[in-house]
Structure 1
Amino acid sequence: MSVISKATFAAGCFWGVEVAFNKKFGSKLLSNKVGYCGGTTKNPTYKQVCTGASGHAEVVQIEFKENEVPYEDLVDFLSHDPTTLNRQGGDSGTQYRSAIFYHDQKQKEIAEKVKAKAAKYFRNVSTTLEKADDFFVAEDYHQNYLVNNPNGYHCSTHFERSWEQIAKEEGTKI
């Protein structure tokens, strides 16, 4: 019997993050929900989160089996830009911050190692590590938004790349 774990990530607009995880991991994920984490307002609405006043980030929360998808593979920094503070592409505000919300000490340690690796490739990593607190599922129309609205907004930073591509783009050495 394998244990079901949770992973929560903020990497800009949650629509693109949701698609990126679905493309990369597909049916290996047990669930992939968009929502809000890291703020002070209980049960925030999208409108409240967009003001920045609630303190929440737009996040994707994933349920997975560690023996099928290692946490380190999920927290790889390869499908967003972790160098722009509170911004992804044209989206700006604290709700679009790059953050890893860890659920336990093991996840925190793995995230620290992956962030240190990313710092060798990116000139400036602004991703924060935050203890996961309450996760609030976003409104229904946000779930699978880009599947249901294929012509909807796509953030330019949400695409898969390799460490080699990042080193080339950043002018760093592997």
Structure 2
Amino acid sequence: LLRPLLPTPATAVRMGEGGGSLRNVTFGGGCFWCTEAVFMQLEGVDRVTSGYAGGSVANPTYRQVVTGKTGHAEVVRVRYDASKCALGDILDLHFASHDPTTLNRQGADVGTQYRSVIFFEDEEQRAEAEAAMARAEEEYGREAWFGFVPGTAKSVVTQLAPMGDFWEAENYHQDYFNNNPNAPYCYMNIVPKLQSFKVRSKIDEMGRAPDA
């Protein structure tokens, strides 16, 4: 779905920004408004920033990215306290909060900018991402057995790529759900995602933020 187009350029943020037990992980799975809202529910998450990654154009604007021609994906950078939540659990929630079996599409949002992707910053993150993808593949692959419907199993198509520049999105994209709870896009897309069984149960398992 198309969202407001404002010309303010993005800001580049280099990987590795954080300190102590704080870590960053960056991924995409459709509209970053939705993904941001999910991970702001988690205890141990210090900050969630919407942005763009994986493209060839420096300092992209939303107007450019939404065309699908820059190569960027809409992503979120989650800064979390590694002493309070594990990367593997965060990645499992990522897979639970979107459909990783649809190529370049999440619902009505279609295009490479909405692709399912995880950007790893080092080999440890790469290994964690590969393990999470394997768990997701196993889950989606056995749905035919639990659903008793042959042929419903699907394959995960999530892209795994090294982290390059992360371009922070325009200000009006940040904390979008909390700032615009009554916007049609929010109650038609974000609220149902937050209320879905897979997302609710995983967040409850990991621990909810006090104000979530």
Q: Distance in 1 between the 2:36 and 2:172 partners?
A: 13
| Candidates 62, 66, 70, aligned match of 2:82 | 66
| Match 1:95 to one of 96, 106, 113 | 113
Tell whether the 8 Å contact from 1:2 to 1:67 is kept in structure 2 after alignment: no
What are the ranges of 5 or more consecutive residues in structure 2 without an aligned counterpart? 1-18, 141-153, 202-212
Q: Which amino acid aligns with 1:47?
A: R
1:121 is matched with which residue: 139, 153, 156? 139
Written as runs of structure 1 = structure 2, the 5 A alignment for 1:89-168 is 89-122=107-140, 123-152=154-183, 153-154=185-186, 155=189, 158-159=193-194, 160-162=196-198
SS in 2 for 1:62: strand
Read off the aligned partner of 2:87 and give its amino acid letter. Answer: Y
Quick one: structure 1 residues 103 and 54, their matched pair in 2 at CA, closer, same or farther if it must change by over 3 Å?
same
Deviation of 1:57 (Å): 0.4
Query: 2:99 aligned with 1:81, yes or no?
Result: yes
Gaps of 5+ in 1: 166-174
Largest Rg, 1 or 2: 2
Deviation of 1:62 after TM superposition, in Å, equals 1.1
Structure 1 runs (4+) greater than 6 angstroms displaced? none
The CA RMSD over aligned residues, in Å, is 1.9
- Indicate if the aligned counterparts of 1:79 and 1:161 stay in contact, CA closer than 8 A: no
Which residues in structure 2 correspond to 1:48-63 (within 5 Å)?
A: 48-63=64-79
Q: Distance in 1 between matches of 2:197 and 2:165?
A: 31
Q: Is the 8 A contact 1:38 1:56 kept in 2?
A: yes
Q: Secondary structure at the match of 2:40?
A: helix
TM-score of the pair, normalised by structure 1: 0.87
Query: Which residue, 47, 57, 60 being the options, matches 1:44?
Result: 60
Task: Provide the aligned length of Structure 1 versus Structure 2.
Answer: 162
CA contact (8 A) 2:40 2:47 kept: no
Question: Paired residue for 1:168?
Answer: none
Hey, what's the Cα distance between the residues in 2 that align with 1:145 and 1:121?
31
SS of corresponding position for 1:61: strand
| Whole-Å separation in 2 of the counterparts to 1:31 and 1:147 | 14
Q: Given that residues 83 and 125 in structure 1 are in contact (C-alpha distance below 8 angstroms), is that contact kept between their aligned partners in structure 2?
A: yes
- Paired amino acid for 2:65: V
Pairwise CA distance, 1:68: 1.4
Displacement of 1:36: 0.3
